């Protein structure tokens, strides 16, 4: 049994894999891992695993986990694939895990990871991590509006019934949802076009993952904009964990 741990800024994800599939996946707040790791799913998971692999963008949480179990962390130094990004050590380990998983799905391919931050992670035809794009996640968009204005509330992140907001809350939901949808469509289309430039045109896979993926994945799947740029959408809920599984299997 393999335990894969994806430490994000907001949430930490734990997954147990038995060689055929993910048998158990749980999440907990990353601050809880830092404050008292014994209250996290690690306590129940670690005893079932022979191997523990992980990626982390929060050093304090990684240190807390290491105090309880030996973890083989994925880094730019040991990922084992070309990194066309500078400097390589500045790439988030979760983005590199996404790249490893993408290589197993298609080349070229794009991962859209919608979490605290929203990242596009690109694997080119050669299987190299080629960079991507970074923008705020949905919660950060709403929080910045609430903190930067006197009268706007911190609204819920839901798909609105229409674009025309008939209340302040509805207006916030509309602005977030349709603004985010437009930004993601445009970025995915531009990245696909750049990947296909000078090559025989083929479909670019867009693998959608992350805690907020449910907000937007169906709209992207039905997007005429993405179809016109030969982008094929696929939901991959555990993409980062899948990448950690690749990391363990390849043994870099």
Binning the chain into helix, strand and coil, the percentages to the nearest 5 are: 40, 25, 35
In the block, tokens 């994925």 appear at 74
116 is written with which tokens?
């605290």
The residues that are catalytic are 94
- The Cα-based distances of 227 to 123, 177, 185, 187, 204 in angstroms read 20, 20, 10, 14, 10
How far apart are alpha carbons 231 and 183 in whole angstroms?
15
The number of beta carbons lying within 10 Å of the beta carbon of residue 164 is 9
Distance CA 35, CA 55 (A): 19
Omega of the bond leading into 176 within 30 degrees of 0 (cis): no
Distance set, CA 58 to CA 55, 72, 114 (Å): 9, 15, 17
Please state the length of the chain: 252
The answer to whether the beta carbons of residues 231 and 189 sit under 8 Å apart is: yes
């Amino acid at each position: 049994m393999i335990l894969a741990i994806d430490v994000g800024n907001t949430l930490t994800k734990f997954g147990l894999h038995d060689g055929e599939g993910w048998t158990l996946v749980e999440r907990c707040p990353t601050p809880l891992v830092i404050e008292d790791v014994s209250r996290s799913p690690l306590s129940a998971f670690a005893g079932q695993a022979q191997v523990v692999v992980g990626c982390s963008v929060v050093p304090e949480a990684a240190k807390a986990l290491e105090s309880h179990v030996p973890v083989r962390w994925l880094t730019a130094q040991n990922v084992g694939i070309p990194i066309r990004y500078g400097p390589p050590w500045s790439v988030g380990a979760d983005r590199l895990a996404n790249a490893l998983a993408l290589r197993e799905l298609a080349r070229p391919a794009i991962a859209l990871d919608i979490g605290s931050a929203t990242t596009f992670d690109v694997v080119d035809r050669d299987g190299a991590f080629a960079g991507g794009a970074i923008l705020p996640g949905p919660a950060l968009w709403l929080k910045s509006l609430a903190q930067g204005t006197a009268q706007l509330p911190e609204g819920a992140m839901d798909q609105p019934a229409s674009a025309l907001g008939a209340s302040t809350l509805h207006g916030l939901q509309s602005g977030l949802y349709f603004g985010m949808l437009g930004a993601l469509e445009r970025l995915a289309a531009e990245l696909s076009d750049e990947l296909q430039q000078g090559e025989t045109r083929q479909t670019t896979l867009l693998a959608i993952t992350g805690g907020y993926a449910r907000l937007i994945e169906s709209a992207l799947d039905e997007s005429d904009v993405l179809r016109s740029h030969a982008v094929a959408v696929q939901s991959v809920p555990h993409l980062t964990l899948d990448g950690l599984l690749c990391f363990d299997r390849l043994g870099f």
